[in-house]
Amino acid sequence: MIRTYFNQRAAIWDKIVAENDRTKLERMASRLNIKPGSSVLDIGSGTGIFIPYLLDHIGQTGKLIALDIAEEMLKVAKAKGFMGDIEYLCADVTSLPLGEETFSAVVCYSSFPHFQDKLKALKEINRVLEDSGWLFICHTSSRTEISEIHRSILSVRDDTIPDKDEMKALLQAAGFTNTRIEDQSDSYLVSARKP
């Protein structure tokens, strides 16, 4: 269902839905603890809005996998021809076709609310992270704003961001530590570490 919803919006996504404020995107990417040479998994890449900002941080020696369940969204991302060590993968976050301990960071930019089984998704993310690797769940709007927008759209009306306590409990149950949740008026950022 969610796959169909996003596939149907792929062609118009960048024009009418995606975040187009480069300053906000740059600022968010710089808040993530991503070092040059990192291997990063971007889950829910969509049309690749956040990809250039991630590539800036991983540099020439880093590697990026852009993953999404909706192949039409990924097609748009691929067509942008981003330069760098980047691979596109169509898959569901709850069943990642990737080995254990592969990534130093996993990023979910503007995608986490749409994961239908959040605990299963977080456990999968934990599995593919290296020890001491970081998960970043981020948005360039507040949690309340995201939930309000989603509630007004029938197909995604239940796709909300869990509140602080629920988010902490989910992350703990999935094996994460060092959880930090920053919910601000114009951004939302969760960082959590695999021990």
Ligand X SMILES: C[S@@+](CC[C@H](N)C(=O)[O-])C[C@H]1O[C@@H](n2cnc3c(N)ncnc32)[C@H](O)[C@@H]1O
Question: Could you tell me the CA-to-CA distances from 118 to 100, 113, 174 in Å, in that order?
Answer: 19, 8, 10
Does 119 sit near ligand X (CB under 6 A)? no
The 31-70 contact track toward ligand X, x by CB under 6 A, reads ------------xxxxx-xx-----------------xxx
Taking the chain, what is the end-to-end CA distance rounded to the nearest angstrom?
Answer: 34
Does 2 sit near ligand X (CB under 6 A)? yes
Min dist CB 192 to ligand X, Å, is: 18
From edge to edge, which strands make up the β-sheet containing 86-90? 86-90, 63-68, 39-43, 103-109, 129-139, 187-193, 177-184
Does 159 sit near ligand X (CB under 6 A)? no
Min dist CB 16 to ligand X, Å, is: 11
Task: Give the range of 107-115, 147-155, 167-175, 185-193 binding ligand X by CB under 6 A.
Answer: 107-115
Per DSSP bridges, beta strands 187-193 and 177-184 are: antiparallel
What is the number of other CB atoms lying within 10 angstroms of the CB of residue 15? 8
Choice from 32, 65, 73, 138 touching ligand X (CB under 6 A): 73
Task: Give the range of 56-64, 111-119, 125-133, 168-176 binding ligand X by CB under 6 A.
Answer: 111-119
Task: Pick the closer one to ligand X by CB: 44 or 133.
Answer: 44
Binding site for ligand X (CB under 6 A): 2, 6, 18-19, 43-47, 49-50, 68-70, 73, 92-93, 109-111, 114-115
